[in-house]
A and B are shown apart, each in its own frame.
Chain A
Amino acid sequence: MELNICHLYPDLLNLYGDGGNIIAMKKRLEWRNIECHIHNVTLHDSFEQDKYDIVFIGGGQDFEQEVILKDLKGDKTKRLKEAVESNVCFLGICGGYQLLGNYYQTWDHHQFDFIGALDLYTIGDKKRMIGDFVFSCPDILNLDVVGFENHSGKTFLGNSVRPLGTIKKGYGNNGQDQTEGARYKNVFCSYSHGSLLPKNPKLCDVILDTALYRKYRVNINEALHDEYENEANQFILNRLL
């Protein structure tokens, strides 16, 4: 078995250790003797939606996000939406999460249209939401997810999109409605940097499992020794809860 992971704009969307999510997915597949290939897709490269089982989009700086919007227009946007609708697994973090939504409105009311694969939008604020945070995702796993958020955009979900989790400590999507992240088809989105997946191995396995099941109709059944992972997770839980 093998999974193909597309890392979208790895040279542009790579803030706050988001690349650690790629490392975590790759390692956790390899430790189970499942092959993993990473495909870097950046500006001017074509996005071949049939080739990928998982698409990862990280967060970036404003400077870099502007470059990306131009590149996304047209064909790439169409293909990304097709991939989402055909149940390809996605993980979007922070800026990558926002990008999958409808638009971003800056605090001074400039609107940037995004790809609109998910029914959600983001409103920029002057105040940044920064710090360690914890959320629970009871419907996909009985576990507290920990991370570090650092965003000024407030994201609001439309009717067809569920939150990934409920905030226990921190801000999450917007600091108002206790929601964090988004779920739609096989798309997982979160504001959690940190990196997200190494410290939340069960969430990583849920994503891998979703992709494996879609491709091979098999589930992950091999548990790994997650001592270090759980200790790092527990440290933040102890600090915050």
Chain B
Amino acid sequence: MKFRRSTALIIAKILVKILRITGRGGTSLPGKLALLIYPALLSDLAFNTEAIIVTGTNGKTTTSRMISEILKNAGLSFFENKSGANLISGITTSFIENHHLNCQYAVIECDEAAFKTVSKHLNAKYILVTNLFRDQLDRYGEITHTLNNILEGIKNCKEATVSLNADCSLSSSLKDSISNHVIFYGVDIPLENTDETLSDAPYCIKCKSRYHYSFRTYGHLGGFYCPSCGYKRTQPDVSVIDILSVGKCDSKIVVSMNNTTYQAVVNLPGEYNIYNALAALSVGIAMSVNEQSMIDSLSTFTGGFGRMENIILNHVDTHIILVKNPAGLNGVIRYLSNLNDEMILTIVLNDKFADGTDVSWIWDADFENLIRIMDRIKMIYVAGIRYDDMALRLKYAGIDQSKIFKVNNYNQLIDEISDDKYKNTASYVLPTYTAMFDLRLKLTKKFKLKNFWK
């Protein structure tokens, strides 16, 4: 067995190098192959590392990066899996690449469907469930199915402290089915513009009566309570008690934790990033990290790959924001609605497996909210495999066809959106998962950007 283990490791390491040199990320193939040769490899490598597993529908990557920033500033040794390599193969690759560092911690972003398997192999000490929204039903099935998968995963980790979103009626219901120590985080006040039509969970997960809300933040998140069975939001241990400002680049908030209040700057815009910051803090609290050091980390943090990533294309100030489901997309549209800039928008819609093969979700997102800011949007470019569907969605949202530009190849798209005519215009690019990789590869070549696995 020892022979198989070392063979698996050597082959995987060589493969990592080859894939890098040939310019392909090489994030999942080496792990996949190594597990074929020696299935116990991940358990072996992960045995001595305390894992912090981040799962849930939205915010996994950003929150993982925030946790890493907190650990870094606290001087703790850790590694993380990169660039959304969040299935068992990609996670195995991360351990293969990093096990020689003998880190105390591993920050592992984990796909919610893969979590119940991955959690069997890792030495999980901390588990964070960010939230549950409808996402790629063709792949994950119903929300309650995902919820059960996560529950099974947590049950593999009896020792772990679990962080849950108090405002999410779906994921916070996990508390009653597990014996782990739980830390709740949440936002204690309504967030602005909550004229939300979309709720992924209007009815009680326990008794199927309609929830009432004392306040809402977004989607189905907020101060829910069930008038019938009494299931209700738990007062969180880490919470936002005030929002001082919501800006183009950051949010200033007041956080309460362990009976102390702190002013904090979340160095990423958008209210969903306030949740991500809270989630990261809740993990830090579980790990007993110094509180002021955590707060400081939020202000120095910069976005993960494709998460509000800022790049300059030619002279155009460009922001890349991954979109993958209605709740996430609505968050981005709300963010854009609050900006006063003149902007161009690019939406790149693919329907490969990792994007979800069903693109109907674009009809569940509130593109109608763009109408209010169309005077500031100079043009909306649509690209990707399903750009016909995207253009159609925009037309039925009421957007004038003269402001919709269909472009079916990336080179032409990049030429258009990096043109000098937009040098004083903010550019927001919203790709789905595989579209982000495709586009990123083209951009890397053309503008010599850093490679995505770094």
Contacts and interface: CB of A to CB of B under 8 A. Distances in A.
A35 interface: no
A17 B401 contact: no
A148 B363 contact: no
A16 interface: yes
B75 to A, nearest CB: 46
A43 B142 contact: no
Contacts of B202: 11-12
Interface string B278-316: 000000000000000000000000000000000000000
A62 B363 contact: no
A150 B388 contact: no
B196 to A, nearest CB: 12
Interface residues of B, number: 29
Contacts of A34: none
Interface stretch (B123-131, B389-397, B439-447): B389-397
Interface in B30-85: none
A169 B111 CA distance: 32
Contacts of A111: none
Contact of B208 (A18, A67, A131): A67
A11 B208 CA distance: 13
A16 B398 CA distance: 20
Given A67-B203, A67-B208, A148 B358 contact: yes
A195 B363 contact: yes
A48 interface: no
A229 B391 CA distance: 9
Interface string A5-34: 000000110111111100110010000000
B392 A193 contact: no
A67 B207 CA distance: 10
A17 B361 contact: yes
B386 interface: yes
A63 B142 CA distance: 9
A131 to B, nearest CB: 7
Interface in B216-274: none
Given A11-B199, A63-B142, A67-B203, A228 B391 contact: yes
Interface residues of A, number: 35
Interface string B142-179: 11100000000000000000000000000000000000
Interface in A201-241: 228-229, 231-232, 234-235
A64 B208 CA distance: 8
A195 B360 contact: yes
A11 B361 CA distance: 15
A193 B360 contact: yes
Contacts of A12: 202-203
B211 to A, nearest CB: 11
B375 to A, nearest CB: 21
B208 A66 contact: yes
A86 interface: no
B210 interface: yes
A63 B145 CA distance: 10
B137 A150 contact: yes
Interface of B: 137-138, 142-144, 199, 202-203, 208, 210, 357-364, 386, 388-389, 391-393, 395-398, 401
Given A17-B363, A20-B396, A195-B363, 5 more contacts: A24-B396, A62-B142, A148-B357, A235-B388, A235-B389
12 contacts: A11-B202, A15-B137, A16-B364, A20-B360, A20-B396, A27-B396, A61-B142, A63-B142, A130-B358, A132-B357, A148-B358, A194-B358
